[in-house]
A and B are shown apart, each in its own frame.
Chain A
Amino acid sequence: GAVVSQHPSRVICKSGTSVKIECRSLDFQATTMFWYRQFPKQSLMLMATSNEGSKATYEQGVEKDKFLINHASLTLSTLTVTSAHPEDSSFYICSASWFANPYEQYFGPGTRLTVT
């Protein structure tokens, strides 16, 4: 149980375009979803936290207008990178937790974004 999927697993986009990454909880209702960013050979950095039906809470230094997060249902959260630039190239990982076990996070497999 507690499976989280991400789509796509890899995406290449041109500079200036927008790209959407989906995060789905497949067998549980994710009351909270988290988005992390991981640069090569570095750690995961929390970007934002989203609760279903509410606006996302962004970490300091993360541009909310550039990284749009929507958590419209209990099984789906999306991260849209708007007007992408090469420096946005990174590995994006989502995780989800649910009310029955709020202290456990279940991670998706990640999405590698390359902006050319």
Chain B
Amino acid sequence: AQTVTQSQPEMSVQEAETVTLSCTYDTSESDYYLFWYKQPPSRQMILVIRQEAYKQQNATENRFSVNFQKAAKSFSLKISDSQLGDAAMYFCAYRILTGGGADGLTFGKGTHLIIQP
């Protein structure tokens, strides 16, 4: 079974600084997707960034970037120039890559990110 581990229950960062959230996963599959989702107090899940395992290049989305280390099964999220609106729960998630795409996500336990003004 696939597992996703987020070892940091809570992280705090000063506004405008950079913070890195850690995620490791365990799988025997070679093809899969990895995601970072943000869940603000509204509880709406928001996709932050996605990484296909077959791509060596790390994904980036504006201030958000990942460090994907496939051999180490590590998938960390770096948030640059942190903003107050970044405060939320962040979940790392894994999804197997099948032809039909009909597989649910396996989530880590989440990291609560606090932004200090």
Contact = CB atoms under 8 A, between A and B. Distances in A.
B92 to A, nearest CB: 10
A107 B44 contact: yes
Contact of A103 (B33, B45, B107): B33
A105 B107 CA distance: 13
Contact of A44 (B91, B100, B103): B91
B100 to A, nearest CB: 7
Interface of A: 31-32, 34, 36, 38, 42-46, 49, 51, 59, 91, 93, 95, 97, 99, 102-105, 107, 109-110
Interface of B: 33, 42-45, 47, 50, 91, 95, 97, 100-110
A49 B103 CA distance: 7
A104 B100 CA distance: 12
Given A95-B105, A103-B95, 8 more contacts: A42-B109, A43-B110, A45-B107, A59-B104, A93-B43, A103-B97, A104-B47, A107-B44
